[in-house]
C-alpha cells in the first residue's frame, strides 16, 4: 500500500505500523492524518504520517500522560488498595488522583518515585485494547476501581472505549501513549495536594500527586532550575527582602501593609495612572468605603454577591456595609443629575479601595487579598459610542501595560451561553450590540482573541486579558465588561436628541486590575529589580571614609533637587560591604565618593548590573539618570 511519511510517498506492506515507518525518528507518537496516535497504530492505504516529538506540545502531552500512568502503576504496587481517579498531562507535567487509605507523606513520594524507576527499567510495552462498555466496566469492577466505573458510565455512546495495559497495570484511557515505559528518561514528583473528585466540593477528596518528566536528566534539571528561578522571584519573598510590604497576622489575613519602599513604587504607578487617564478624557472621582444596606439592595449585590461581603456595621439604626465594588457610587453620581446625550460619554475613574471576603485557603501574598485598590472606571455612553469607547480602553490598556514591559497577551471574549439565555439579564438586542462592539473593537485594535461561550457573567459580556511576564507566566490583566444589570436596576437614563429618555450603556473596566495584584506581578516580572523610573530608591551614595560624608550628602542633595531618589549610606563599614548591601537591595546606581571625587566634584558610578561605569561629573550624572528615567518609563 502507499502511504505518505513526512510528505514523501512510500510503498510499504499491509499491517505496517506508524512506529515502523518513523523508526528512524525520535518519535514519541505519530500524527496520522492529523490525529495523534500510538506508534503501534496500524496504517491504512493513503495515510499521511508525521512524527510527534517532545519539542511540540502534543508530544509532551503524550510523554507526560504516560508518565502519569507509570506513577499510577507505582502507587498501585505500593498501595494495592488505592483507587484511581484521573491522571492527565497538564501544562507543565502531569498529575494523578488517588483515593488512598492514609495521607501521603513526603517520604512516600520518594518510595513511589523509586518504584517508577523500576517500572521504567522494566520497559513495559503499553498496549491499547478497544473494548465494549461492558468489558470496560467489568474490568474496572474487577479492580475495585469505583471512580473508573463512574467514568466508563459517563462516556458518550458510540465512542470507542480503550484500555491501556502495561505489565500488570490496566487503565481506562483514550490515549495515545508512548510505546513502552522505558521511554521516560527522568522524572520528579513535586507535590501532593487534595483535589475533589471531578472538581466538586461535594465529592470525595482525593490525593493528587504532581510530577514532571523529561527525556534527559539535563532537561529535568533545567526545568527544576526554572522552578527555582520562579521561587527566587516570588513577590512574597522579594516583598520582605526589599522591604516593600508586609502582611501580618495581627492586622489580619489578606490585608496589606505598604512599607515606604513599596508605597513609593505604588505612588509612581498611581501618578502615572492618573496622568494617563486625564490625558484620555477621564475624570477622577472618590467614593466612600461604606454604604447603606439599601444601596447594595438596589444594586443587587446583596442577592448575588453577599457571600463576598463583610457583615457591616450599625450606625444610628441604619445598617452599613463595606463596599466590595465601586460601581454603585459612580452610578449614584451619574443619577445625581439629568444627563443629556451631549454629555456622553462620561468616563469616571477611581483608585477605589474595596474589601471582599475571600475564604482563607485562597489568600496568596498580594495576588489574592481581602482589601485591595482597583484601578476602576465606568464609562457611560450611547450605543453608537460603545465601539469607540472599547477601542479607547484597549489602547489605554495596551499603552499602560507596555510601559511596564508587558507586551504579550491572551484575550478571552466571554459571551453568553446561547443555549441558556434566560440566566442573563438585559435584552437580546443589548447583548448582541455589546458583543458586536467588543469584537469590532478587538478587530480594529488588531488583537487576536478566543471566544468563550457561557463564560460571561450574568450581567455582562466581557474581555479578559491575561499578561505574560518575563518567565512566560500568565497574570490576570485588564477586564472590560458591558454591564446590563446596574443601569437597569438604578433606572439610568439620558435625554436623547428626540427629547425622550434612553438607557445608557455602562462599561466597567480595569486596566491594572488592582494595585495589589499588579504590584505583585510586577515584582515577579522584574524579579524585584525595578527599572529606574519605578525603583523606589534610585541611587545610593557611598562615601569611602567618614571624611567623605559631607560631600556624599552634597551629591544626594543635588540628585534630590533634580527629582531623583537618593540616599547616603554612612554606616561605618567597608565599601565592599555597603556595595554588597546595595546590590542585594537591587538599587540601580551606587555612587562611590572618596578623595578624588570630592576634590574634582565627580562621582564613581557603579550600576547594579553593568558594574563600574567610571567617573562622571555631577552634571553628567543628573543628565544621564534623568534620561534613563524618561527612557525606562512611559513615553507620551
The CA distance from 88 to 91, in Å, is 10
Binding test (CB under 7 A) with RNA, winner from 13, 34, 101, 361:
361
β strands within 525-634, DSSP E: 539-543, 566-568, 589-593, 602-607, 611-617
The CA distance from 430 to 503, in Å, is 11
Which residues ranging from 245 to 264 are in contact with RNA (CB under 7 A)?
Answer: 247, 249, 252-254
Give min distance, CB of 577 to RNA, in A. 4
Is 291 a binding residue for RNA by CB under 7 A? The answer is no
Our CB check for RNA shows the closer of 36 and 434 to be 434
Binding test (CB under 7 A) with RNA, winner from 359, 429, 497, 636:
359
C-alpha R_g of the chain: 30
Strand 501-502 vs strand 505-514: parallel, antiparallel, or unpaired? unpaired
Our CB check for RNA shows the closer of 65 and 356 to be 356
Give min distance, CB of 154 to RNA, in A. 16
Binding test (CB under 7 A) with RNA, winner from 78, 135, 196, 388:
196
Is 116 a binding residue for RNA by CB under 7 A? The answer is no
Binding test (CB under 7 A) with RNA, winner from 32, 72, 104, 394:
104
Our CB check for RNA shows the closer of 54 and 210 to be 210
Q: What 3-state DSSP class applies to 608?
A: coil
C-alpha distances (whole Å) from 156 to each of 218, 444, 528 are 42, 41, 50
Is 544 a binding residue for RNA by CB under 7 A? The answer is yes
Is 336 a binding residue for RNA by CB under 7 A? The answer is no
Segment interacting with RNA (CB under 7 A) among 18-26, 100-108, 315-323, 329-337? 100-108
Is 364 a binding residue for RNA by CB under 7 A? The answer is yes
Give min distance, CB of 581 to RNA, in A. 8
Binding test (CB under 7 A) with RNA, winner from 513, 528, 536, 588:
513
Is 105 a binding residue for RNA by CB under 7 A? The answer is yes
- What backbone phi and psi angles, to 5 degrees, belong to 399? -65, -50
Is 363 a binding residue for RNA by CB under 7 A? The answer is yes
Give min distance, CB of 612 to RNA, in A. 5
**Greatest C-alpha distance within the chain:** 93
Our CB check for RNA shows the closer of 408 and 600 to be 600
The CA distance from 77 to 363, in Å, is 37
Give min distance, CB of 97 to RNA, in A. 9
C-alpha distances (whole Å) from 470 to each of 229, 401, 521 are 11, 13, 10
Give min distance, CB of 36 to RNA, in A. 24
Q: By rule CB under 7 A, what count of residues binds RNA?
A: 73
Cα angle value 445/447/448 (rounded, 5°): 150
C-alpha distances (whole Å) from 185 to each of 78, 123, 167, 614 are 21, 11, 18, 50
Which residues ranging from 37 to 66 are in contact with RNA (CB under 7 A)?
Answer: none
- Residue pair 235/523 in contact (Cβ under 8 Å)? The answer is yes
Give min distance, CB of 354 to RNA, in A. 9
Instruction: Select from 513, 475, 521, 476 the least CA-distant residue to 265.
Output: 521
Segment interacting with RNA (CB under 7 A) among 276-284, 355-363, 435-443, 557-565? 355-363
Is 400 a binding residue for RNA by CB under 7 A? The answer is no
Give min distance, CB of 497 to RNA, in A. 35
Is 547 a binding residue for RNA by CB under 7 A? The answer is yes
Give min distance, CB of 454 to RNA, in A. 12
Number of Cβ atoms within 10 Å of the Cβ of 534? 22
DSSP 255-320: -EEE-HHHHHHHHHHHHHHHHHHHHTT-EE----SEEEHHHHHHHSHHHHTGGGS---EEETTEEE
Is 611 a binding residue for RNA by CB under 7 A? The answer is yes
Which set of grid coordinates corresponds to residue 551?
A: 560631600
Our CB check for RNA shows the closer of 364 and 489 to be 364
Which residues ranging from 589 to 608 are in contact with RNA (CB under 7 A)?
Answer: 590, 592-597, 604, 606, 608
Binding test (CB under 7 A) with RNA, winner from 72, 510, 519, 538:
510
Our CB check for RNA shows the closer of 123 and 302 to be 302
Segment interacting with RNA (CB under 7 A) among 10-18, 388-396, 419-427, 545-553? 545-553
The CA distance from 176 to 128, in Å, is 9
- Residue pair 401/467 in contact (Cβ under 8 Å)? The answer is yes
| Contacts by 329-337, CB closer than 8 A, 24 or more apart | 329/285, 329/287, 329/288, 329/291, 330/285, 330/287, 330/378, 331/299, 331/378, 331/486, 331/487, 331/490, 331/492, 331/506, 332/295, 332/490, 333/285, 333/287, 334/380, 334/492, 334/504, 335/490, 335/492
Which residues ranging from 211 to 240 are in contact with RNA (CB under 7 A)?
Answer: 236, 240
Q: What 3-state DSSP class applies to 507?
A: strand
Is 304 a binding residue for RNA by CB under 7 A? The answer is no
Our CB check for RNA shows the closer of 19 and 478 to be 478
Is 397 a binding residue for RNA by CB under 7 A? The answer is no
Q: Residue 49 pairs with which residues in a beta bridge?
A: 5, 32
Binding test (CB under 7 A) with RNA, winner from 286, 576, 610, 635:
576
Our CB check for RNA shows the closer of 229 and 612 to be 612
Is 168 a binding residue for RNA by CB under 7 A? The answer is no
Amino acid at each position: 500500500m502507499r502511504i505518505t511519511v513526512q510528505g514523501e510517498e512510500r510503498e510499504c506492506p499491509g499491517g505496517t505500523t506508524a512506529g515502523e515507518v518513523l523508526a528512524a525518528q525520535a518519535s514519541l507518537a505519530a500524527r496520522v492524518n492529523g490525529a495523534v496516535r500510538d506508534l503501534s497504530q496500524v496504517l491504512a492505504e493513503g495515510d499521511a504520517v508525521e512524527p510527534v516529538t517532545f519539542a511540540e506540545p502534543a508530544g509532551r502531552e503524550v510523554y507526560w500522560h504516560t508518565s502519569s500512568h507509570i506513577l499510577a502503576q507505582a502507587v498501585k504496587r505500593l498501595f494495592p488498595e488505592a483507587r484511581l481517579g484521573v491522571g492527565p498531562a497538564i501544562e507543565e507535567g502531569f498529575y494523578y488522583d488517588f483515593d488512598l487509605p492514609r495521607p501521603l507523606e513526603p517520604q512516600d513520594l520518594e518510595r513511589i518515585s523509586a518504584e517508577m524507576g523500576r517500572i521504567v527499567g522494566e520497559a513495559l510495552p503499553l498496549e491499547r485494547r478497544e473494548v465494549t462498555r461492558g468489558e470496560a466496566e467489568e474490568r474496572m469492577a474487577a479492580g475495585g476501581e469505583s471512580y473508573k466505573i463512574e467514568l466508563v458510565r459517563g462516556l458518550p455512546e458510540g465512542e470507542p472505549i480503550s484500555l491501556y495495559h502495561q505489565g500488570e497495570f490496566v487503565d481506562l484511557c483514550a490515549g495515545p501513549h508512548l510505546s513502552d515505559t522505558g521511554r521516560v528518561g527522568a522524572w520528579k514528583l513535586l507535590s501532593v495536594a487534595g483535589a475533589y473528585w471531578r472538581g466538586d466540593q461535594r465529592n470525595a477528596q482525593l490525593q493528587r500527586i504532581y510530577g514532571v518528566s523529561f527525556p534527559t536528566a539535563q532537561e529535568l534539571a533545567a526545568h527544576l532550575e526554572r522552578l527555582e528561578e520562579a521561587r527566587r522571584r516570588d513577590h512574597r519573598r522579594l516583598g520582605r527582602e526589599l522591604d516593600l510590604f508586609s502582611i501580618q497576622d495581627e492586622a489580619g489575613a489578606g490585608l496589606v501593609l505598604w512599607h515606604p519602599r513599596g508605597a513609593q513604587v505604588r505612588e509612581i504607578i498611581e501618578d502615572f495612572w492618573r496622568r494617563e487617564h486625564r490625558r484620555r478624557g477621564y475624570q477622577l472621582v472618590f467614593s466612600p468605603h461604606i454604604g447603606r444596606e439599601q444601596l447594595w439592595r438596589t444594586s443587587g449585590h446583596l442577592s448575588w454577591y453577599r457571600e463576598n461581603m463583610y457583615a457591616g456595621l450599625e450606625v444610628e439604626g441604619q445598617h452599613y456595609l463595606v463596599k466590595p465594588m465601586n460601581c454603585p457610587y459612580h452610578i449614584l453620581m451619574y443619577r445625581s443629575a439629568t444627563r443629556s446625550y451631549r454629555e456622553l460619554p462620561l468616563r469616571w475613574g477611581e483608585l477605589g479601595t474595596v474589601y471582599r471576603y475571600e475564604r482563607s485557603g485562597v489568600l496568596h501574598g498580594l495576588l489574592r487579598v481581602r482589601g485591595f485598590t482597583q484601578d476602576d472606571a465606568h464609562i457611560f455612553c450611547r450605543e453608537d459610542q460603545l465601539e469607540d469607547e472599547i477601542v479607547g480602553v484597549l489602547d489605554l490598556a495596551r499603552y499602560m501595560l507596555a510601559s511596564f514591559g508587558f507586551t504579550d497577551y491572551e484575550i478571552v471574549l466571554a459571551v453568553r451561553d446561547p443555549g441558556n439565555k434566560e440566566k442573563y439579564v438585559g435584552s437580546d438586542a443589548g447583548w448582541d450590540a455589546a458583543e458586536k462592539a467588543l469584537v469590532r473593537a478587538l478587530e480594529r485594535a488588531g488583537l487576536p482573541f478566543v471566544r468563550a461561550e457561557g463564560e460571561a457573567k450574568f450581567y455582562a459580556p466581557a474581555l479578559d486579558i491575561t499578561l505574560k511576564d518575563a518567565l512566560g507566566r500568565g497574570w490576570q490583566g485588564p477586564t472590560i465588561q458591558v454591564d446590563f444589570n446596574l443601569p437597569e436596576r438604578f433606572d439610568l437614563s439620558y435625554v436623547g436628541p428626540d427629547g425622550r429618555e434612553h438607557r445608557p450603556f455602562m462599561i466597567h473596566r480595569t486596566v491594572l486590575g488592582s494595585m495589589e495584584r499588579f504590584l505583585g506581578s510586577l515584582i515577579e516580572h522584574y524579579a524585584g529589580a525595578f527599572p529606574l523610573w519605578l525603583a523606589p530608591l534610585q541611587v545610593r551614595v557611598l562615601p569611602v571614609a567618614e571624611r567623605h560624608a559631607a560631600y556624599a550628602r552634597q551629591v544626594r542633595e543635588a540628585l534630590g533637587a533634580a527629582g531623583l531618589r537618593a540616599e547616603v549610606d554612612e554606616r561605618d563599614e567597608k565599601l565592599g560591604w555597603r556595595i554588597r548591601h546595595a546590590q542585594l537591595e537591587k538599587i540601580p546606581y551606587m555612587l562611590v565618593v572618596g578623595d578624588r571625587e570630592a576634590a574634582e566634584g565627580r562621582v564613581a558610578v557603579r550600576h547594579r548590573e553593568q558594574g563600574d561605569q567610571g567617573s562622571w561629573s555631577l552634571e553628567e550624572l543628573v543628565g544621564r539618570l534623568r534620561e534613563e528615567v524618561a527612557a525606562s518609563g512611559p513615553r507620551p
